[in-house]
Structure 1
Amino acid sequence: MAKRTGAKYDAIIEAAVKVIAEYGYHNTQVSKIAREAKVADGTIYLYFENKDDVLISLFSDKMGRFISQVEEALQQVESPIDKLYHLIRLHFENLERDHMLAIVTQIELRQSNPEVRKGIGKILKRYLNVIDQILIDGVKQNLFRSDMDIRITRRMIFGTLDETVTSWITKNHKYKLLEQVDDIHNLFIHGFGKP
């Protein structure tokens, strides 16, 4: 298998985002991805085992880059309250910028098989760990409630961000995701901040 870098690999990943967003995962054939990427069908199999591998790789590549961006940005921020704000903003900014990627991550990944969900779970765990660390730091700094269950709160945060983006997609992007940041941040802070 070819190394997963380079212009052809990137072209295949970008083509997969576009084709899966347009046709849906189950209606996407590898040949459609190859045509969109302007490569031969066989070239796909130099980089990927099958269509599931393309979807897992797409998510790992895009989400991995995003998580690295978040980790780097949060290193510049002191307060866990501000870190949470930046996390929400970056999450929405990333998906608002790329509507097709938002469709793939919010709609199509949920319709995939258990093997795909297992593959994406590994990279998603890294993102959830970022949220956990913000919460742990907030508790340590006495900014968040000490009796807060980190796992439940993390699920609440991720679930809220996830549902906000999904709703935005189903409403055909009629409003800006970034306009939601302040309200959602306030909801979280007043929900689990110190009384």
Structure 2
Amino acid sequence: MNDYSFIFVSDVCLKEISMKNNKPKYKLIIEAAVDVIAENGYHASQVSKIAKKAGVADGTIYLYFKNKEDILVSVFEEKMGQFIEQIAAATSQKETASEKLLTLISMHFGQLAANHHLAIVTQLELRQSNLSLRQQINRILKPYLGVIDGIIKEGIDENLFRSDINIPLIRQMIFGTLDETVTNWVMNEEKYDLVGLAPAVHDLITKGIKAS
């Protein structure tokens, strides 16, 4: 296969993915999977349950997904893709890196606070021991971590953040803080205002990396 054939195949694959994502049944299955996995747990969520919730035949699931693992990964990929688009649009309206970071934190908390089932799936059910699944989740996370990297770099350029900080380390600390805060909120049965914590979390992070 020559280079041109490879490009052609890649283009075909991208078109197939786009066509699949734009089909109503694909969206129905994704939303049904969020509900079923949140209510039953990943391991107890049979494909047949997801199909029934989506109002489609069991066989229809396999027109879009290889297996249950593929459904879980696709749920995360779909939701994370939407979130990154929203983050990019919202942060582009902010002037400073500090404002962009606060926006990201608020939106991170807000998206999950607004969707009880999605919060359970992302914070609990994605924590699987399967190595292949973890690697796929990490791949999907990379663009979001890249958004955080961009905000940190912008803050350094603006002299808002220290120039000697280790960007990969700070990025992991920021994401880890947000992730653990949401997980704790879910584990405590969402008894308090998650979004209301955003300013305090932002203040804690920015004070730690603030330029002197």
The residue correspondences of 1:92-103 to structure 2 (distance < 5 A) are 92-103=109-120
What is the rounded CA distance, in whole Å, between the counterparts of 2:117 and 2:102 in structure 1?
24
Q: CA deviation at 1:112?
A: 5.1
Q: Are 1:135 and 2:152 counterparts?
A: yes
- Equivalent position of 1:3 in the other structure: 20
- Equivalent position of 1:48 in the other structure: 65
What is the rounded CA distance, in whole Å, between the counterparts of 1:41 and 1:17 in structure 2?
17
- Equivalent position of 1:36 in the other structure: 53
What is the rounded CA distance, in whole Å, between the counterparts of 2:129 and 2:147 in structure 1?
25
Q: Are 1:62 and 2:79 counterparts?
A: yes
Q: CA deviation at 1:123?
A: 1.9
Q: CA deviation at 1:140?
A: 1.1
Q: CA deviation at 1:78?
A: 1.4
What is the rounded CA distance, in whole Å, between the counterparts of 2:111 and 2:189 in structure 1?
17
Q: CA deviation at 1:5?
A: 2.4
Q: CA deviation at 1:138?
A: 0.6
- Equivalent position of 1:149 in the other structure: 166
1:80-110 Cα distance to aligned partner (Å, 9 max, x none)? 0100000000000000000100110110001
- Equivalent position of 1:187 in the other structure: 204
Query: Is residue 145–residue 194 contact of structure 1 (8 Å, CA) maintained in 2?
Result: yes
- Equivalent position of 1:109 in the other structure: 126
What is the rounded CA distance, in whole Å, between the counterparts of 2:22 and 2:58 in structure 1?
18
Q: For 1:49, what is the secondary structure of its paired residue? A: coil
Q: CA deviation at 1:4?
A: 3.0
1:167-192 Cα distance to aligned partner (Å, 9 max, x none)? 00000010011110111011011111
Instruction: Give the greater-gyration-radius structure (CA).
Output: 2
What is the rounded CA distance, in whole Å, between the counterparts of 2:176 and 2:98 in structure 1?
18
Query: Is residue 128–residue 134 contact of structure 2 (8 Å, CA) maintained in 1?
Result: no
1:26-82 Cα distance to aligned partner (Å, 9 max, x none)? 111100100111111000001101001101111100110001100111111110010
Alignment counterpart, residue 143 of structure 2, candidates 119, 126, 138 = 126
Query: Is residue 145–residue 171 contact of structure 2 (8 Å, CA) maintained in 1?
Result: yes
Instruction: State the identity as a percent.
Output: 54
- Please tell me the residue identity of whatever aligns with 2:209: F
What is the rounded CA distance, in whole Å, between the counterparts of 2:200 and 2:171 in structure 1?
18
TM-score, length of structure 1 as denominator length: 0.97
| Shift >6 Å, 4+ stretches | none
What is the rounded CA distance, in whole Å, between the counterparts of 2:114 and 2:129 in structure 1?
24
User: CA 1:29–1:112 in structure 2 vs 1: closer, same or farther (change >3 Å)?
Assistant: farther
Give structure 2 stretches of 5+ with no counterpart.
Answer: 1-15
Q: For 1:11, what is the secondary structure of its paired residue? A: helix
What is the rounded CA distance, in whole Å, between the counterparts of 1:191 and 1:50 in structure 2?
44
TM-score, length of structure 2 as denominator length: 0.89
